[in-house]
Amino acid sequence: MPVIKPVRGKSPVIPEDCFIAENATIVGEVTMGNQCSVWFSAVVRGDVNFIKMGNKVNVQDGAVIHGTYQKSATTIGNNVSIGHNALVHGCTIHDNVLVGMGSIIMDGSVVESNSIIAAGAVITQNTVVKSGSIYAGVPAKKVKDISKDLISGEINRIADAYIKYSSWFKE
């Protein structure tokens, strides 16, 4: 069974249509939208600050979502994929975003809608990723504008795929 527990009197709020893997950890002030999934060995730690996730958010295997005490909460919009082993910390991610595998998004950063953070990218503290951009590298920089094909072909495809994958575990 997953670890789902209150911290300091605040408990996770997880709709029934969400999938939580058996070894995922969700603690504290975490609010999830509909059709979300938290995969194997992922950690969503709302102990030191709140975490709010919209609808259709998937937190893939080994990813960590956290905040900073008395400073930075984490807010994630709708239709967002957090790739395997990514670290999302004290930041804001708007709608329709793909956070690539192994990437890091640090405190105070804002990732605007319809953007892609490339695998392994490091979004340093207080960076603003403009809507419609692809950021890559260490530290991450804008590498190009995103096409409408990438929005529907990758961002939406991955978010929808994880809804399908999670249904396999509910059978």
Please tell me the predicted confidence (pLDDT) of residue 139.
Answer: 98
The 8 Å CB, 24+ separation contacts for 81-85 are: 81/57, 81/155, 81/158, 81/159, 81/162, 82/57, 82/58, 83/119, 84/60, 85/61
Each residue's pLDDT tens digit, 77-120? 999 999 999 999 999 999 999 999 999 999 999 999 999 999 99
Class of domain 3-169 (CATH, top level): mainly beta
pTM of the model: 0.96
Please tell me the predicted confidence (pLDDT) of residue 101.
Answer: 98
Each residue's pLDDT tens digit, 10-55? 999 999 999 999 999 999 999 999 999 999 999 999 999 999 999 9
